[in-house]
Chain A
Amino acid sequence: MGLVRRLPDSRPGLYRLHGRCAHCASYHSTTDSFVALERFASPHQYGENLCRVTQRGVVVGKKFSTCVLKIARRRLSAAAAVRRTSFLSLRCTICLIGALLAFAGTPILRAQDQSDTPKPVPVVTGAAGFITTFDAGQPHLGPLISAVILAPLKDRWLIESRDTFESDLTQEPGRSGFHGQVLKEVDYLQLDFIANPYVTVTVGRFLTPFGIFNERFYPIWIRNLQTDPLILPIGIGPSNASTGAMVRGGFPATSSFNINYAAYFSTLSTVSPLDSSRFAGGRLGIFIPNQRIEIGGSFQHLLQDDRSNSFGFHGAWQPPALPFDLRGEYQRSSQGSGYWIEPAYRLSQVPFWQNAMRRTQLVARMQQFWVGAVPSDSLLPANTRQFEFGVNYYFEDGLRAVSSYGRQFSAAGNKNIWTIGLTYRFAFPLGHGDVN
């Protein structure tokens, strides 16, 4: 138990505390950033410095236990705290973020580590599928296996990788049957470090967090329609992934909504198929759990070629009372711009044939793409509109039949796109041992 210094005035507010030890003459100070954001009257800790400011005074413990602090207080207004923050230089900001990564939330994580949560085991999960597409009458057979390997290390580390084996089998003139090559891709191979409840640091090759489709809806067992949105290539790099580092996280901002963010830097890589562009960017989103509404935006600055900027907005809504999804994105870059909106409705509330209806999902997608000033190989060469309708049937949680019809209107020519297929999701532990 440390010493208790009684304070004559304990009005709640924003304060800075500092003082000099009467014995060792060392100068001790709480950092402005911590104090400026905490209520003076509530007990709290300053990272490793176990000082607690209470209604009675300052309880000094552990590191300061041999010190007799003469507490000097200076009340800071909220406006002053904000002004102080705005004057932070880039270097100070980076240093503070580094300090945060190391210390913020350490006590919370330590408490969490000591809980009786089961120890994680390595897991292989992913999906297999067979999607047949009729694109303008031309059949494409698409077998695919995508395995996600998860290897947790201790309490805060995770190595994760997604490796995909797929083929696009087509009929070739003068030959019978379907032919094609098996493509082997490492979609991502990343090391995650959960620094604290608010920050996760990722290094390696990771899916570019631009918009929401690439990161969250891309796997075939998740996506409602098997065709890609027309604007998917915008902002995600040449192979849908980045090579570099990223910080990301999600945290409750208030009791009614959460904030999630990602900031990343990718370096240039020309090693195929692990190629990536040199860019930096970020994504910020707000999620309101009670209404199940999510909105957010993405920004990216290309650090090569035309050094252009890309930005986008995304939104998703799932009304709690209905088995209904609404997702959408808008993206804009020098290579093109466009949007997609995708409503989906599960027929579980239909009063007849309930066993079949509750397994059936109706989906639609409307999208439009406009060509930009800079041509791109990965985007369409002409302005395009596309409408799609689909029906999915869930045999069980992981096994699903999918089908859709789409009509594309383009200056390069109109066409129909049909898809039909099966998707299956799997998960099993890697190696032997007790998984309970």
Chain B
Amino acid sequence: MKFKLKSIAWLSAMILGGVLYAAAQEQAKGLNSPTTPSRAPASTLTPTSSRPKLVHDAADARFEGEKRFRANCGRCHMAPHKLPPRMMVTIERHMRVRAMITDEDMRFIVAYMTE
């Protein structure tokens, strides 16, 4: 019983620490250098003076999306045919849970697969 409690406590503490650390990093990154992809036209993705964007235009977003697709999805399977956007969003939600893809990677991949 003691061993079980200690194991659960250690496991929980590890998860908690990782989540908090990532949350802090994500928030700092989100406020200082947002990298969130958008499905908006390329003109709305141009960098601003106060917050430089990682994604400069549609070509960069596509490149980043493809890179992340190959790194994450390509670990297990080949690239599927392009599916309709609303189907792809469902499948990405499924794969986010199954393959534990990060939130940021998922958004890049969805933008790439539904463009």
- Residues 104 to 144 of chain A near chain B (Cβ within 8 Å): 104-105, 108, 112, 115-123, 125
Stretch from A72-80, A172-180, A233-241, A242-250 at the B interface? A242-250
State the majority secondary structure of interface residues on A: mixed
Instruction: Decide yes or no whether B42 CB sits under 8 A from chain A.
Output: no
Measured between C-beta atoms, what is the minimum distance from A10 to chain B in Å?
16
Instruction: Decide yes or no whether A259 CB sits under 8 A from chain B.
Output: yes
Instruction: Decide yes or no whether B59 CB sits under 8 A from chain A.
Output: no
Q: Is the CB of B93 within 8 A of A216?
A: no
Residues on A with C-beta less than 8 A from B27 are 38, 44-45, 108
Q: Which of A37, A93, A121, A303 contacts B87 (CB 8 A)?
A: A121
Q: Which of B78, B79, B100, B107 contacts A260 (CB 8 A)?
A: B100
Please judge, given known A-B contacts A120-B90, A303-B4, A435-B84, whether A90 and B12 are in contact too, CB under 8 Å: yes
Q: How far is the CA of A112 from the CA of B84 in the complex (A)?
A: 20
Q: Which of B11, B22, B32, B93 contacts A251 (CB 8 A)?
A: B22
State the majority secondary structure of interface residues on B: helix
Most buried by A among B3, B8, B100: B100
Q: Which of B17, B19, B23, B107 contacts A112 (CB 8 A)?
A: B107
Most buried by A among B5, B9, B22: B22
Q: Is the CB of A108 within 8 A of B93?
A: no
Q: Is the CB of A263 within 8 A of B11?
A: yes
Q: Which residue of B lies closest to A246 (CB)?
A: B97
Query: For chain B, which range describes its interface: under 10, 10 to 19, 20 to 34, or 35 or more residues?
Result: 35 or more
Count A-side interface residues using an 8 Å CB cutoff: 86
Q: Is the CB of A150 within 8 A of B84?
A: no
Please judge, given known A-B contacts A38-B24, A108-B103, A303-B4, whether A284 and B14 are in contact too, CB under 8 Å: yes
Residues on B with C-beta less than 8 A from A285 are 100
Instruction: Decide yes or no whether B60 CB sits under 8 A from chain A.
Output: no
Q: How far is the CA of A119 from the CA of B17 in the complex (A)?
A: 33
Q: Is the CB of B80 within 8 A of A435?
A: no
Q: How far is the CA of A36 from the CA of B83 in the complex (A)?
A: 44
Q: How far is the CA of A124 from the CA of B100 in the complex (A)?
A: 20
Instruction: Decide yes or no whether A347 CB sits under 8 A from chain B.
Output: no
Instruction: Decide yes or no whether A349 CB sits under 8 A from chain B.
Output: no
Q: Which residue of B lies closest to A104 (CB)?
A: B23
Q: Is the CB of A301 within 8 A of B4?
A: yes
Instruction: Decide yes or no whether B45 CB sits under 8 A from chain A.
Output: no
Q: Which residue of B lies closest to A429 (CB)?
A: B87
Most buried by A among B13, B39, B76, B105: B76
Please judge, given known A-B contacts A97-B15, A427-B91, whether A216 and B76 are in contact too, CB under 8 Å: yes
Q: Is the CB of B19 within 8 A of A100?
A: yes
Q: Which of B16, B26, B72 contacts A197 (CB 8 A)?
A: B26
Measured between C-beta atoms, what is the minimum distance from B112 to chain A in Å?
13
Q: Is the CB of A250 within 8 A of B26?
A: no
Q: Is the CB of B102 within 8 A of A251?
A: yes
Q: How far is the CA of A316 from the CA of B74 in the complex (A)?
A: 12
Measured between C-beta atoms, what is the minimum distance from B49 to chain A in Å?
17
Instruction: Decide yes or no whether A158 CB sits under 8 A from chain B.
Output: yes
Q: Which of A125, A248, A436 contacts B85 (CB 8 A)?
A: A436
Q: Which residue of B lies closest to A158 (CB)?
A: B93
- Residues 256 to 310 of chain A near chain B (Cβ within 8 Å): 258-263, 280, 282, 284-285, 289-290, 292, 294, 299, 301, 303
Measured between C-beta atoms, what is the minimum distance from B103 to chain A in Å?
3
Measured between C-beta atoms, what is the minimum distance from B22 to chain A in Å?
4
Q: Is the CB of B5 within 8 A of A90?
A: yes
Q: Is the CB of A97 within 8 A of B102?
A: no
Q: Is the CB of A90 within 8 A of B8?
A: yes
Q: Is the CB of B26 within 8 A of A108?
A: yes
Q: Is the CB of B72 within 8 A of A44?
A: no
Measured between C-beta atoms, what is the minimum distance from B85 to chain A in Å?
4
Residues on A with C-beta less than 8 A from B32 are 42
Q: How far is the CA of A103 from the CA of B98 in the complex (A)?
A: 23
List the 5 closest pairs (A to B, CB-CB), nearest first.
A197-B103, A250-B100, A435-B84, A251-B22, A260-B100
Additional A-B contacts beyond A86-B13, A252-B25 (10; CB < 8 A): A42-B28, A93-B9, A119-B86, A121-B86, A197-B26, A198-B19, A252-B26, A253-B25, A429-B84, A434-B86
25 contacts between A and B (CB under 8 A): A43-B31, A90-B12, A93-B9, A97-B15, A100-B16, A104-B20, A112-B103, A116-B39, A118-B85, A118-B114, A120-B90, A121-B90, A197-B26, A197-B102, A197-B104, A215-B98, A217-B76, A222-B76, A222-B77, A251-B19, A260-B100, A261-B18, A282-B11, A303-B4, A435-B86
User: Which chain B residues have a beta carbon within 8 Å of chain A's beta carbons?
Assistant: 3-5, 7-9, 11-28, 30-32, 38-40, 68, 70-72, 74-81, 83-91, 93-94, 96-105, 107, 110, 114
